[in-house]
Amino acid sequence: MTTTVWTTDRVDLNSAAGTALKAAVRFWSAVIVLGQLVFAFEVASFYGMATLRGTAAQALRKHITHGWIPGDFLGNFAIILHLSSAPIIILAGLIQLFRKSASECPSFTAGMDAFTS
């Protein structure tokens, strides 16, 4: 019987496997960032343009079940607040994915964790 002892705390990432792992992480990070940016842009542009054209009520009725109900001030206010803050929350969540922003501004990331949870 043989006993193997781990003598270092770090894994050598200079191997081909380490290089492949780094490339995969970079690729998927780029996919995540691009996806979040596209999603935030889509939400902001679709409902923002509908508001600028004056067709927001029709867009809300068509795409969101019970999205706009004439005379329901509180419900309509809630849906407008939800849709206007959605791109901000999406982009704030994207900022937290990066280690540097979390380490340099811990109060921001802690505040966003409490806000988005």
pLDDT in tens, 57-83: 777 777 777 777 788 889 888 888 888
Please provide the DSSP assignment of 8-65 as one string.
Answer: -SS--TTSHHHHHHHHHHHHHHHHHHHHHHHHHHHHHHHHHHHHHHT-HHHHHHHHST
Structural domain includes residue 10: no
Q: What is the pLDDT of residue 37?
A: 92
Structural domain includes residue 13: no
Structural domain includes residue 21: no
pTM over 0.85? The answer is no
Q: Which residues of the chain have pLDDT under 50?
A: none
Domain count, the chain: 1
Structural domain includes residue 67: yes
Q: What is the pLDDT of residue 38?
A: 93
Residue 61 belongs to what domain range? 35-116
Structural domain includes residue 12: no
Q: What is the pLDDT of residue 24?
A: 92
